[in-house]
Amino acid sequence: MPRKVQSIPFKASISAGWKQIMQSKMELLYESINLDSLLKGAVGCGSKIGFWADCWVLNYPLMDAFPALFALDANKRCKVRQRVGWSGPNVTWSWEWKRRLRGAAEEEQLQQLKEVIGNYEFGISSDKWVWLGDESGKYSVKSLRYIIDYNRLPSDLNPMSWCHWIPLKVRCFMWRARLDRIPAKTGLIARGVGIGGGSCSLCIGTDESHSHLLISCPFASRVWDKVAEWCGVSRLESNGLRDVKVITEDEVGSNKLKMAHCAIYMATCWYIWLARNDRIFNGIPVAVQNVVDKVKVHVFMWLKARAKLVDLAWHKWCNFSFSNFPV
C-alpha cells in the first residue's frame, strides 16, 4: 500500500503492535504527541528512508523545514540515496526539480539544505529507525506511556512519592486526588455526570471539590485538627493536597518519623473520603472521632507490618507525637 508523503513508514502488513500504535496516531496528536517526530531515521545506505517525508537529518522532516524546495521536487517520495551521494567527507547532489530554481530565496534555501545535510554523519550499514522516546533508541510501551503521562498530567505538580509501606489503593487514591481525578461532585458535574446538586456530602455547605472535601471542609478540618493534636503538632494539612515527599523534606527527624508522617497524611485523606462514601452510599452518619480512630489503627498496622517497625507498640502509638516518636 503506498504510504502518504506525510506519514511515518506504515504498511497494512506491519505487525499488530505497530498497527495499533499508528491507529492511535491521531488520538495522540490531540495530546500534542506527534509520533512522526519520535521516530528518526539513521541513514546507512539511504535506500529506505524518504529524503523529504521522513525525519532523519533534523528532528522533523525536510519537507517541513524547506517547503518551497519540497514543492519543486518532481519525485516527492524519493529516498535519501536518490538525492545525496556520499563517499567519506565528499557529498554529491542529484536534484529533480520541476523547473530551475528562481530567485535568491530558493537558492538560499537550497544552500541551507546542503549545509544541514553536509554536517550529517551517514552510517555504513543499512538504514535504521531510532525511537527518540528512549535513550536506548528502542521503542517500548513504557517509554511511550511516560511521554503520554508527561504531556497529559499537570506540570506544576511534584512527582508523586510512591511510599511502598502504604497500601496501593491509598497511594492511587492520593495520586488521583492531587490530579482532581477522584469522583468528587464538582468533578463529576464538570464531566457531564448528572448527580443533582454539587453540595459537599459532609457539610452540605459548599461545592464538593476534591480540595474542599479532603482539606477545607469543616468536617475535614476537625479531623485534621484532631489528628494534629494526637501528633503533638499545631497543623498537619495545608491549603491544598501536597506530595508527601514535600511534606517531610524540611522535617527534622528520623526516616521512620517521616514515614509515619506520610502515612498519617495519606490515611487522613483516605478515611475522610471513605466517611464521605459511607454517608452517601450506606447512610452511615459521619463522626470525626471515628475517622481519627481509623487513621490511628490503620497507620499503626501499616507501619508495623509493611514498614517493618516491629518495635512499635500500640500503647506508645496512642501517645504518639512528632517530638517523641516511639521507635
Cα torsion 127, 131, 137, 140: sign: negative
Tell me which residues in 50-69 interact with Zn ion (CB under 5 A). Answer: none
From residue 180 to residue 219, the character string flagging contacts with Zn ion as x (rule: CB under 5 A) and all else as - is: --------------------x-xx-------------x--
Q: Which is nearer to Zn ion, 57 or 236 (CB)?
A: 236
Shortest distance, position 199 Cβ to Zn ion, whole Å: 8
Q: Does 263 bind Zn ion (CB under 5 A)?
A: no
Tally Cβ neighbours within 10 Å of residue 167. Answer: 17
Shortest distance, position 297 Cβ to Zn ion, whole Å: 24
Q: Which is nearer to Zn ion, 113 or 272 (CB)?
A: 272
Shortest distance, position 292 Cβ to Zn ion, whole Å: 17
Shortest distance, position 206 Cβ to Zn ion, whole Å: 6
Number of residues in contact with Zn ion under rule CB under 5 A: 4
CB neighbour burial string for 108-132, b if at least 16 within 10 angstroms, e if fewer: ebbeebeeebeeeebeeeebebbbe
For residue 110, what is its C-alpha cell?
537550497
CA distance 50 to 213: 56
Whether the Cβ atoms of residue 83 and residue 56 lie closer than 8 Å to each other = no
Shortest distance, position 324 Cβ to Zn ion, whole Å: 33
From residue 143 to residue 182, the character string flagging contacts with Zn ion as x (rule: CB under 5 A) and all else as - is: ----------------------------------------
Concatenated DSSP letters of 39-83: EEEE-SSSSSSBTTTS-SSSSS-HHHH-HHHHHHBS-TT-BHHHH
Strand partners, 40: 130
Q: Which is nearer to Zn ion, 212 or 304 (CB)?
A: 212
Shortest distance, position 264 Cβ to Zn ion, whole Å: 21
Q: Which is nearer to Zn ion, 223 or 312 (CB)?
A: 223
CA distance 39 to 48: 14
Positions that interact with Zn ion (CB under 5 A)? 200, 202-203, 217
